[in-house]
Amino acid sequence: MSDTSREQQEASRARMVEFWREYDAMEARLSRPLTERMLDLAGVSWRMHVLDVACGRGEPAVPAAHRVGPEGRVLGIDLVDGVLELARQRARREGLENITFQVGDAEALQVEARTFDVATLRWGLMYMRTPERALASIHRALKPGGTLVIASWAEPARVPWASLARRILERYREVPPLPRADEPGVFRHADPAGLETALARNGFSVKASEELEVPIVEAHDASDVVTWIRQLGGPVVKLVGELPEPQQRAWEAELLAELESRRTGDKVTLGGVTRLTLGTALAVDSCEVR
């Protein structure tokens, strides 16, 4: 990696940390039903050892630590130490001593084999370079019969937090196609068949799949949701910034109108449909783990 690329990556990570420093509490509150459902599906309970991969700011690692109690253990892994520090701060605020966070690559986990009862992976697998390596690495970390719960997003039409701004932008300019299913991106596992095939190829038996509508941002004023979209950044926001100023204002006006149409009471909410996939780790001699 060149010095320029490294600097850009570090700058991007710094912006991400600041974004989540501002919005973490809101997103954690809104998505708490998803976290609890993930832990329910996995059967997380007292004394268990839980591995949360791509844990970010500590979801669902921190709630898991409350469930397993002082005799249990939770390890959260993420690539970005800045967001892990937010998770550490939260764990300290909640008085948890049974949880550890460390920087690590999900595709080559540095953990003891057959150590964990449960692994969770919330909205992270889709961004990885080679998800199957991550699945194989998680399989090695789990005890035979251990469970893995993955949260991924459904197709774009049902995930407006990631597609609404883009759909409106298409009225003003040509927009590059979404990443393919074999490329990192929000909708990488929108087709459940692809994820289930990857799980089967890497030592997991798929036991259940279900969907849940999850809000991730809310505000009294739709303009605050637009601010959230702009601060979140990404290719669409960059493309909007390249439009002439009058078209940028028109794009924002249409986006505000769309958001207002979603108002319920005094709140404007944006989110999407998440798919939860539950897998069980098969014994090594009964599968071909890549």
Q: What is the pLDDT of residue 8?
A: 67
Residue 175 pLDDT > 70, yes or no? yes
Distance CA 206, CA 200 (A): 7
Mean pLDDT of 240-249: 97
3-state helix, strand, coil in the chain (%, to 5): 45, 25, 30
Residue 186 pLDDT > 90, yes or no? yes
* 62 neighbors 84 (Cβ within 8 angstroms): no
Residue 286 pLDDT > 60, yes or no? no
Indicate whether 117 belongs to any domain. yes
Q: What is the pLDDT of residue 151?
A: 98
Confidence of residue 283 (pLDDT cuts 50, 70, 90): confident
Instruction: Kindly list the distances between the CA atom of residue 26 and the CA atoms of 47, 102, 132, 225, 238, in Å, as whole numbers in the listed order.
Output: 29, 24, 32, 12, 25
Mean pLDDT of 59-76: 98
Helix intervals (H) in the chain:
3-30, 32-42, 61-68, 81-93, 131-141, 160-169, 192-201, 222-232, 235-241, 245-260
Q: Please tell me the total count of domains within the chain.
A: 1
Indicate whether 237 belongs to any domain. no
Report pLDDT digits (tens) over 77-107: 999 999 999 999 999 999 999 999 999 999 9
Report pLDDT digits (tens) over 126-163: 999 999 999 999 999 999 999 999 999 999 999 999 99
Distance CA 205, CA 7 (A): 41
Query: pTM for this structure?
Result: 0.93
Q: What is the pLDDT of residue 83?
A: 93
Indicate whether 52 belongs to any domain. yes
Residue 17 pLDDT > 90, yes or no? no
Q: What is the pLDDT of residue 272?
A: 98
Indicate whether 30 belongs to any domain. yes
Burial of 264 (0-12, 13-18, 19+ CB in 10 A): exposed
- For residue 44 the two structure tokens come to 């997380």
Q: What is the pLDDT of residue 237?
A: 95
Indicate whether 235 belongs to any domain. no
What one-character DSSP code corresponds to residue 171?
T
**Across all residues in the chain, what is the average pLDDT?**
94
Mean pLDDT of 259-288: 89
Indicate whether 266 belongs to any domain. no
Q: What is the pLDDT of residue 290?
A: 46
Burial of 205 (0-12, 13-18, 19+ CB in 10 A): middle
Indicate whether 177 belongs to any domain. no
Task: Give the CATH number of the domain where residue 80 resides.
Answer: 3.40.50.150
Indicate whether 161 belongs to any domain. no
Instruction: Kindly list the distances between the CA atom of residue 24 and the CA atoms of 56, 106, 245, in Å, as whole numbers in the listed order.
Output: 10, 22, 31
**Whole domain around residue 141: which residue ranges?**
3-155+182-216+272-284
Residues in CB range of 262: below 8 A, 6 or more apart: 160, 268, 269, 270
Confidence of residue 20 (pLDDT cuts 50, 70, 90): confident
Q: Is the dihedral of CA 209, 32, 258, 170 positive or negative?
A: negative
